Structure 1
């Protein structure tokens, strides 16, 4: 939330230069507040587990957020009860005429599948294109980040030879960028993907602000200059046992996976893993809600227009 200060206070310009949201008394006295509308397109098979993880991160904010859940198609689910989907999820046709403050597109277990072979690829492209004119800021997570880069920059799918799995150290860049507000210079975050996000490749082929990278995992966080598209290549929403569950699953399927890096104490899967990324996960989502959504979105969503947005920090 903003700091409210007297008009013309000398400290205002300094704080704004550090991406601290400062609101003058004049603006505060005329400010109208309403709940933010955030749509979550859940592409993961275990939808209840995934929606819980994202809702936990979105809840750590003083902003009031109204959540709606979106499914990509109406095929029966093997991992989520039909009753749950019917009661809590909407089809795109039910929301496409409306505007939203934020959209989150989750990851999907499609790391080794080519885009054109994804059953719902054309429908996903339709939703992503729709977001350009109906959503203030879209957050692409893991596989969705790769899909978003294909749509926005026509970047071909790049796949690692081995799955990236574990908890990796990252360095921040552009310390005063709003999305990095409050971040340590180095922080931990989990990854579980085949997708390759090379910093040099993104720098050469996009105009994205590269905000956090890892020597092992590549780009973790990037955003367009207007903050309307944010890419997170890891899984800040993961719970402490999520990587363990995936590791056990892959072992059971005879995939002979590598032990997730920097995850189990002493690198021993028999030891209880601990979440070491939770604080930065909450901070990232809080910053996204505040600086990319709340600070950018029009009060009247019916007045939504791409002209409302600038690249000014």
Structure 2
């Protein structure tokens, strides 16, 4: 089954040309099936790039997905055209009565700030609490995952002396988890952050279940059954060239930046980077969508009232 997107959204043509199954609203309405309502709270500056990356992953499953794009009500983006935001995004404050089968909360370029100094922190914490009554399953990514695990459990983030940047080996800590169905015992995953969550501080919280972790960069994926959430601290959603874009940007700006680890063939930034995480990215998000489908109530009004 395809993902339902507005036909004028830039991601529609991009994904259709890649072979991802997409459909417009008119065609979707003729199908006698309840699509899964998945929302994306997009905190990244490059909105179009980020929405396309996540739509690609959740649109690759055999289920019909109705994707809703959400923005912080109290923050105006400066990096995406106002026309795009007006056409495709709704402020969260207008959606507080809505129910969703799933919600993805992206990262944000604010990791150097204490959480409480982020200008939209108060609204974001209200969104975290809202997920407990209005969202069946929430997926926090990078800073979004760090912010969630801090809000619900007090797990701190720590600044790194050097940026964790590249593709790092991770271990599968829970092969029997339905979220890791089909996963290898170890795998490569893109990492790009100046902060970390520490394994022993996750393990000290009763109920949290580490699923993926790296000896070099710490925990990557944590399950939080009590809050019906997954916390991912890295970037499975990245395109093949995303780390290159970040590297080239910092080099052009004269910033001190190391060549991303295990990314370019022979660590040569003049070569074309190799994508070695795409299959696991599709597995993870496909497994997440499948678990939502298996457990979410058919009646949307019942979302948030049951168990995960």
**TM tier, shorter chain?**
0.7 to 0.9
Task: Give the direction of change, closer, same or farther, for the CA distance of 1:206–1:165 in structure 2 (3 Å limit).
Answer: farther
Identify unmatched segments of 5+ residues in structure 1.
2-31
> Post-superposition shift, 1:157?
2.9
Task: Give the direction of change, closer, same or farther, for the CA distance of 1:135–1:211 in structure 2 (3 Å limit).
Answer: same
Aligned to 1:168: 168
Aligned to 1:302: 301
Matched pairs, number: 278
User: 1:23-62: per-residue Cα shift (whole Å, max 9, x none)?
Assistant: xxxxxxxxx9511001100000000000000000011100
What pairs up with 1:1-313 in 2 under 5 angstroms? 33-73=33-73, 75-225=75-225, 228-291=228-291, 293-306=292-305, 308-310=306-308
> Post-superposition shift, 1:225?
3.1
- Aligned equivalents of 1:33 and 1:175: distance in 2? 32
- Aligned equivalents of 1:74 and 1:227: distance in 2? 25
- Aligned equivalents of 2:34 and 2:47: distance in 1? 28
> Post-superposition shift, 1:303?
2.0
Task: Give the direction of change, closer, same or farther, for the CA distance of 1:246–1:206 in structure 2 (3 Å limit).
Answer: farther
Contact in 1 for aligned 2:263/2:273 (Cα 8 Å)? yes
Any idea what SS the aligned residue of 2:284 has? Answer: helix
> Post-superposition shift, 1:200?
1.5
Task: Give the direction of change, closer, same or farther, for the CA distance of 1:270–1:169 in structure 2 (3 Å limit).
Answer: same
Any idea what SS the aligned residue of 2:37 has? Answer: strand
- Aligned equivalents of 1:309 and 1:116: distance in 2? 30
Identify unmatched segments of 5+ residues in structure 2.
2-31
> Post-superposition shift, 1:76?
4.2
> Post-superposition shift, 1:173?
1.4
Task: Give the direction of change, closer, same or farther, for the CA distance of 1:231–1:76 in structure 2 (3 Å limit).
Answer: closer
Task: Give the direction of change, closer, same or farther, for the CA distance of 1:254–1:206 in structure 2 (3 Å limit).
Answer: farther
What RMSD, in angstroms, separates the aligned Cα atoms of the two structures? 1.6
Q: TM-score, normalising length from structure 2?
A: 0.87
Q: Whose Rg is larger? A: 1
- Aligned equivalents of 1:190 and 1:287: distance in 2? 19
User: 1:221-241: per-residue Cα shift (whole Å, max 9, x none)?
Assistant: 110236810011110110011
